[in-house]
Structure 1
Amino acid sequence: MRFSANAIVAAALLLAISLEVVPASAQSLQMPSDAEIRAQMAKQRQDTAEALGQKIVPVKPGTFKAEVPVIKAPPPVKTQSLDDVMKQYAEAKKGPQVKRGASDLIIFVSFSLPKEILTELARQAKATGAVMVVRGFKGGSLKATKLAALEVNRAGAPWEIHPELFKAFKVKTVPTFVVASAEAESVLDDGCSPEASFSSVSGNISVELALDTIRRRAQPSIAKLAESRLAMIRASNQPGPLH
């Protein structure tokens, strides 16, 4: 391939012009150092702060502290747990009190009884110093037992879960009312208390009627305990018949 003289001259002129346009300093371009970059950034921040009317105060390492505001909140309110409620069942705060082991008045119940009957029996137990006793946990659950007892025991009568007492006093049905002397604490080989140490009556009746029945039918020592308790109840005019 041949080039004309004019084409060669034109190419030479174009190359010369391009060399004249590019500055010589561009042929040896150098990047700024880290120190120069940091200085430039600091200057830009300073210029921005001054423009906004602020002054940047550098923070020395290890001197930064966060201020946590103090919030005045109301004190926490303590709520009564189910364990606290069950503990109250073991302590009767009001009404006639009878020392356990001296002459007990026990009402054997079950959560299978209607709630209104359990509620009334709990009220009478609280008023007469009797103890409510269930055989075991409702549905095998401690939590369900506590909730069921809380629902029917607004009076705050003492409750116990005591399957051995059902055997000791030969309780087969509920409700059953038992008056027991101190000798009832002794247990025979079959796990039952001596016959002469307690007397019981079953049925949907009031505590007052149960005590009167035991007073009339039991052996003299137990009948005397029932009569004494009955006199105490009548003196305080409590409780009324079961509704």
Structure 2
Amino acid sequence: MRLLPPLALLLASVTALAQGVLLPSQEDVAKAMEKARDAMAKVQGGAGEGTRADGNVSVPPKQAAPMQTPSTPNVNALPKPYAPAPDIAGIAEKYKDLGRALAREQQRDASRVDLLVLVSLSMPQEALDRIIDQAEKAGATLVFRGLKGDSMIRMTDEIQALIGKRNVNIAIHPPAFQQFRVTRVPAVVLARGEASNVMENGCAKADTFVKVSGDVSIDYALDHIERRSSAWAEEARKFRSKIVRGL
């Protein structure tokens, strides 16, 4: 028996396999391709409505609702309280009246005369008692240079023991001794309000006060001023009359 060559055997096998399998016709292949093209066309046409061309579903972003801006109220349409126009002339006149009143007050203070007696606890007890009696009657103020032993409590006790039940004005004011050029006590001083405007050296102007220093009583010092100084005579007489009459 003659054997067939290997190639002939292979062709025979392929021919037998082809005869046992039913292959699609060219018409069937063309219809399948047409259906595929129609499907692809539909997919590409609907990609913008949620399906991409690659077949994945896309979710369109949710659009935010437009923000509503509140309307601004019309300020001009709101009711306005009644406010009369200011009286500029009246206000100016009030300020003028206030200025005139202040000027009168300053003039009154500048012309007012005070009676001061500068003293010290180192003075004899008898002299201090006499001055305190006359100061109460004349309405004078006793002025001390400083504190006894640099203690306010001790100074208060000393003054209270001196005054007792008498009604006398007391001041502790060291600058007053420089202001009225007092180097020894007692010193009886008549001073106008403008004497508080001291110069650079701490002293008051000479024409704003008058004084008498030495171991004298208040009434004697006032009598001396009345007789020796015409510019202060009237004021000295007023204070001295209170002592003499006991008013």
TM-score range relative to shorter protein: 0.5 to 0.7
| Alignment partner, residue 221 of structure 2 | 210
Q: 1:144 aligns with which of 149, 154, 160?
A: 154
Deviation of 1:122 after TM superposition, in Å, equals 1.2
**Does the residue aligned with 1:221 lie in a helix, a strand or coil?**
coil
| Alignment partner, residue 176 of structure 2 | 165
Q: 1:125 aligns with which of 124, 135, 139?
A: 135
**Does the residue aligned with 2:114 lie in a helix, a strand or coil?**
strand
Deviation of 1:230 after TM superposition, in Å, equals 2.1
Contact 2:137/2:242, CA 8 A, preserved across alignment: no
| 1:190 matches 2:201 | yes
CA distance in 2, matches of 1:184, 1:225: 15
| Alignment partner, residue 221 of structure 1 | 231
1:124/1:233 CA distance change after superposition, 3 Å? closer
Provide structure 2 residue ranges, at least 5 long, that are not aligned to the other structure.
1-107
Q: 2:125 aligns with which of 115, 119, 123?
A: 115
| 1:135 matches 2:130 | no
Work out which of the two has the higher radius of gyration on C-alpha atoms and give 1 or 2.
2
CA distance in 2, matches of 1:142, 1:204: 27
Contact 1:197/1:222, CA 8 A, preserved across alignment: no
Moved over 6 A (4+): none
Deviation of 1:237 after TM superposition, in Å, equals 4.2
**Does the residue aligned with 1:193 lie in a helix, a strand or coil?**
coil
CA RMSD of aligned residues (A): 1.9
| 1:178 matches 2:208 | no
| Alignment partner, residue 104 of structure 1 | 114
| Alignment partner, residue 84 of structure 1 | none
Q: TM-score, normalised by structure 2?
A: 0.52
Instruction: State the AA in 2 paired with 1:186.
Output: N
Deviation of 1:156 after TM superposition, in Å, equals 2.7
Q: TM-score, normalised by structure 1?
A: 0.53
Counterparts of 1:34-53 in structure 2, within 5 Å, are none
Deviation of 1:157 after TM superposition, in Å, equals 0.8
| Alignment partner, residue 33 of structure 1 | none
Contact 1:133/1:162, CA 8 A, preserved across alignment: yes
Aligned pairs, number: 138
